[in-house]
Chain A
Amino acid sequence: MGIYIVRRMIAAVWLLLIVTAATFVVFFLVPRLAGATPDDLASRYAGRTASPEVIHQIAIKLGFTDPIWVQYGRFVKGLVLGADYSTGPTTVHCPAPCLGYSFLTQNPVLPDLLDRLPVTMSLAAGGALIWLLAGVSTGVISALHRGSVFDRAAMGVALAGVSLPIFFTGLLALSVFSYWLGITAPGGSYTPINENPLHWAYDLLLPWITLAFLYAAGYARLTRAGMLDTMGEDFIRTARAKGLPERTVVLRHGLRAALTPILTIFGIDLGLLLGGAILTESTYSLPGIGKYSVDAVVNNDLPKVLGVVLVGSMFIIVANLVVDLLYAVVDPRVRYQ
C-alpha cells in the first residue's frame, strides 16, 4: 500500500510538470508560432498608450525575450528554489514554492491562492456533503419504490437540476431568498469559518444548495440506476433468502455494491470543484479560486493561470488517489500492491 502511494505521488509530479509545460506552450509557443513577437505579448500588460520602448521594457522585465524553455526553466526554478522580484524601489524575495508574480497586478500568486483556498474548500465541502446525502438517499428511495409518485417527482426535479445552469438557478435563488424574502445572505457574502462558524454557514447556505442541486440531481439518477441493477442481482436474492432484515439487504449489500461508480465520479467532481467552482463563485461573487481563475484567463495573466492549473490538477490527482484507495475499503475484491 505504502509503495503504491509513493509510486502514484511520483507519477503525479511528472503529470504536474507536463500540465504546466502544456500551459506554457498554449500561452507562449502558440502565439509565437502565429507570428507574435515578445513585444506583442508584452503589450497586453502595458498601458493603453504605451510607447514601443515601454512595451519592450516590459517584455524584458517579464522575461518574454528569452526562449520559451528558459522561461519554463525559470518557473520550475522558482517552484524549487524561490525567486527575487523588483517592486521598483526594493527587491522582494518570494520563497519556494514560488508560483511567480501576476503580470498585471504584480502580486505574488501563491499567497493569493492560499488566501482563496478556504473559500473554495468551504463551498465544495458543504456542497458535496449536501449533494451526496440528498442525491444518494433520493436515488435509493426512488429505486426501491420504482414507478411511485416519489420516484417520478424526484426524477423530474433531478432532470431540471441537471439541465438548469448555475448562473440561472443561483441568480433566481438570490432574487427570491435574499432580496425578496430576505432570509439568506446577499451575494458576495463570506465569513471565514474561524471568525464565526454560524455566519460562515449562513453565508454559504444558498451557494451550497445551488451547487448541490446541480450535482445531487446527477447523483440521484446515477444511484437509482445502480441500485436498480444491483437489487436484481443474485446475491441480493441470496441475502434475502438468508432472512436478513431488508434494511441490511439494501444498505450493506445493495448500496455498497452500487456505490463504487458513484465514488469514482465523486472523486473527480470534488477534485474539479476544489480547483475552483467557477460558475458558483462567479454567480455569488465568492472570492474563491474559481473566480480567480476566470479573472486570470480573461486578463491573460499567465502566472495566475499556471497557479490555478497547478493547484487544480493537484486536487484532482489527490482526489483520484483517495478514491482509488477507498475502492479497497468499499470493494474487498480490490487490492493494491
Chain B
Amino acid sequence: MKGQDNEMGTNRRVAVLATLAVLILVGCGGPGPAGANSGTSGGIHNPSDGRGGTLRYANSGDWDSLDPADTYYAYSWNFARLYGRSLVMFKSAPGAQGATLVPDLAESLGRSSNDAKTWTYTLRPGVRFEDGTPVTSRDVKYAVERSLDKATFPNGPTYFNDVLDLHGYTSPYADPDPDKLGLRAIETPDDRTIVFHLRKAFSGFDYLAQTPATMPVPRAKDTGSKYKEHVVSTGPYLFQTNELAKRFTMVRNPQWDAATDPNRRPLPDGITVDLNVNADDVDNRLLSGDLDVSIEGSGVGPSAQGRVLGYQARRANTDSASVARLWFTALNSDVAPLNNVHCRKAVLYATDRAGYQRAYGGPTGGEIATNMLPPVIPGAQRFDLYPSPKHLGDIAKAKDELVQCGAPGGFATSISYRAERPKEKATAEALQQSLARAGINLEIKPYPLADYLRLYAGKPDFAKANNLGLIVYGWGADWPDGYGFLSQIVDSRVIRPTGGNSNLGIRDPAIDQMLDQALVTTDAVARQQIWVNIDRKVMEDAFALPGVWAKGLLYRPPNLTNVFISDGFQMYDYLALGTTRR
C-alpha cells in the first residue's frame, strides 16, 4: 500500500548529526526498541477502559481523501473504522489476531457459492447513519458503485472494478436507473441482504469486503468529489469540523449504538487531526507530549530516532512494528544474461545481505529477508535457498553458478534505483560492491521516483534497452495476505508493455497457474500453502533478490492507553486507543 511508500519525507533533511549518530548506534547493534507486534503480556500497553479526553493525531502529509471510496493508505483504512463500518473488518486486537477478519456491518463473514463467484452478506439490524436514517443494503451497494468511478475517485483501489461482473457499468453518476442502483453485479433482495456476483472466482473476497469502499454512503448526501468534506458517519465518531489539508475534529456519534457493534469500544470523547505538519515537528511534539499519535504509522523519522533510542525512559515507550513490506531487487529475466537462471542464482549467492540491511538502517529498519513473503503475513514461512555465513554471501557458489551460466568470468549489467531515495542508492552501491567480488559488474542508474515505474524501470522496453538487469524496488501488501502481497509483483499477466508495472520481470506460467489455483481455493490454510509455494518457486528460479522485511520504530507517549500493534495494519490500532489526558 502507498502508506509507507513516502517514508522518506522531503523535509527530513535536518539534523544530519543526529542521523549519523543513529546510524552508528544502529550499525553497532545498539539498544533496540522495547515492544514488538505481540511483545508484552497480551500485547497491550496501558490497558484501560477509561473513557474521555481528546486524542490528538498529526499527519506529516495529507490524506489522499477521507472519502471511503477514494482512499488507499493503510493508516487511512485503519482510521476509517472510527467513522465508517464496512461489511467486515480487521479485528481490533494485538498481533496476529489483528490480521483476522471479523464481521462488522454484516452479521457474519461472507457466504460464498462453491465456485467462489457469488458472495452473500446479511447486514446487522439497527445500524444508523449519523442523521438517524437506518442503513440498508442499498446504501452499501451505492457505496461500492460509486467507488467504481475512478474518474471521480482516482485514489482508491480498483479491486471491485476488477472482480465484479460489471457488464460495462462505470458509475452511478452515469446510471440511467432512477435510484442509481443499476449495477447488476450487486443484488439487494431485501433491506438487509447484499449479494456480489464476480466475473471470476475470488476466494479472498472478504478482504475486499473489509476495504472502506463497502462503508455505506447515503445517496441523498452524496456530493461526489466534494463528499470528503463531510463524510456521513456510521461509526462511533462523526466529523465536527473539517478544514481540508489543515485539520479536522471528530466527536462521538450519538446515533452509533454499541449494541449493534461488538468490535468497537471507543474511549476518547473527541479526536483532532492536524494535517501537513512538518515531519520533524511531528516527532518533536510526540516526544514533548504535545501530540499523541503520528498517524501515518511509518515510525519515528531518522533525526528523532537517536533521541528516542538514546534514552532509557523513552526507549521503554517504543515498539518495533514488523511491516508487510519487502525491500527487494528484481532480477529482470528480460535482460541477458539474466535470462539464464544460473546467472540469476549467481547474483543471489554473491549478495552481501548484511550490507543490504545496513542500507536500510540496520536492524531498526528491518530484518534480513531470505524469501519474499514478509513473516507478518499469516501462513508465511521463512526459508533460505541461498545461505551463507552471517549473510555475507557465498562467492565460491556464485562463481560455480557463473560457470554453469556460461559466463565463468562474470558479466556486466545495470542496476536502477529511485533517485530520491538515499536508502535505495545505498542498496545499489552495496550490491555493486558485493557482486564485484564474483566478477559481476554493475553500472548504477538512478531514475526519478515519480516516473520510475511508468517510464523507466517499470516499462519493459525501456528496461531492456537500458540493460536494467537489477531493479531496486520495494513492495507492501494492501492487506496482510498472500494475494494482497504477491498478485501485483509475480503475476506475469499484469505486465503491460505500456509501462507502469510493479512486476519487474517475473514471467513464469507455473506461478501464474498457482495464483489462479489459490483464487478458487476457499480453505484459508490450503490457500496459505499455495502462497508459500509461489514464494518458494520465485526463490528457486531466482527471480528476485529479497533484501529487508521492513520495520517501523513507533513511539507511544505515556498518556496513551490501550496501545497495541495490529498485524492487520502493522501500526497502532486506532480503534482501540485512549488517553489519560483529560
Contact = CB atoms under 8 A, between A and B. Distances in A.
B290 A179 contact: yes
Interface stretch (B143-151, B324-332, B387-395): B143-151
A51 B152 CA distance: 14
Contacts of A57: 150-151
B496 interface: yes
Contacts of A90: 223-224
Interface in B4-62: 10-11, 13-15, 58, 62
A298 interface: yes
A192 to B, nearest CB: 12
Contacts of B284: 171, 174-175, 179, 187
Nearest to B287: A179
A54, A89, A186, A291 — most chain B CB neighbours (10 Å) = A89
A67 interface: no
Contact of B454 (A43, A87, A112, A188): A43
B455 A40 contact: yes
Contacts of B167: none
Given A48-B72, A175-B284, A167 B11 contact: yes
A50 B13 CA distance: 32
Contacts of A337: none
Interface in A97-136: 105-107, 112
B385 interface: no
Interface in B192-241: 222-226
A300 interface: yes
B15, B149, B224, B287 — most chain A CB neighbours (10 Å) = B224
Contact of B290 (A49, A50, A168, A186): A186
B278 A89 contact: no
B114 interface: no
B488 A49 contact: yes
Given A89-B222, A171-B281, A285-B281, A47 B72 contact: yes
B15 A285 contact: no
A121 B400 CA distance: 68
Given A47-B158, A167-B14, A186-B285, A287 B151 contact: no
Interface in A1-48: 36, 39-40, 43-48
Given A47-B156, A171-B15, A188-B58, A179 B288 contact: yes
A52 interface: yes
Interface string B240-256: 00001110000000000
A58 interface: yes
B173 A89 contact: yes
* Residues of A in contact with B, size category: 35 or more
A65 B88 CA distance: 41
A61 interface: yes
Contacts of B408: none
A332 interface: no
Nearest to B69: A88
B13, B14, B146 — most chain A CB neighbours (10 Å) = B14
B339 interface: no
A188 B281 contact: yes
Given A40-B454, A47-B156, A87-B226, A283 B290 contact: no
Contacts of A283: 11, 278, 281
A168 B455 CA distance: 36
B474 interface: no
Nearest to B148: A54
Interface in A253-299: 282-285, 287, 291, 294-295, 298
B289 to A, nearest CB: 9
B108 interface: no
Contacts of A284: 278, 281
B450 interface: yes
Nearest to A62: B151
B158 A49 contact: yes
B154 A45 contact: yes
A276 B561 CA distance: 40
Interface residues of B, number: 50
A187 B281 contact: yes
Given A36-B455, A40-B455, A88-B149, A285 B276 contact: yes
B139 interface: no
B280 interface: yes
A50 B154 contact: yes
Contacts of B488: 49
B62, B65, B278, B454 — most chain A CB neighbours (10 Å) = B278
A285 B279 CA distance: 9
Interface string A143-156: 00000000000000
Given A179-B284, A285-B274, A88 B224 contact: yes
Contact of A47 (B157, B225, B276, B450): B157
Interface string B246-279: 1000000000000000000000000000101110
B386 to A, nearest CB: 31
Contacts of B223: 87-90
Contacts of B244: 105, 107
Nearest to B62: A295
Contacts of B225: 87-88, 106
Given A47-B72, A90-B223, A287-B245, A171 B154 contact: no
Given A171-B284, A291-B276, A52 B152 contact: no
Contacts of A58: 150-151, 154
Interface in A44-88: 44-52, 54, 57-58, 61, 86-88
B245 A105 contact: yes
Contacts of A48: 2, 72, 157
A54 B150 contact: yes
B460 to A, nearest CB: 15
A70 B14 CA distance: 43
Contacts of A49: 157-159, 488
B500 interface: yes
Given A47-B150, A283-B278, A284-B281, 13 more contacts: A43-B454, A49-B157, A50-B158, A51-B161, A54-B151, A88-B152, A88-B171, A88-B225, A89-B222, A92-B226, A167-B11, A179-B287, A179-B290
The 9 closest A-B pairs by CB, nearest first: A88-B224, A87-B224, A187-B281, A179-B288, A106-B225, A88-B152, A54-B150, A285-B277, A87-B225
24 contacts: A43-B500, A45-B154, A46-B150, A47-B158, A48-B72, A54-B158, A58-B154, A86-B224, A87-B224, A88-B146, A88-B152, A88-B173, A88-B223, A88-B224, A167-B14, A168-B14, A171-B15, A178-B288, A179-B284, A187-B277, A188-B274, A188-B278, A298-B10, A300-B450
Interface of B: 2, 10-11, 13-15, 58, 62, 65, 72, 146, 149-152, 154-159, 161, 171, 173, 222-226, 244-246, 274, 276-278, 280-281, 284-285, 287-288, 290, 450, 454-455, 488, 496, 498, 500
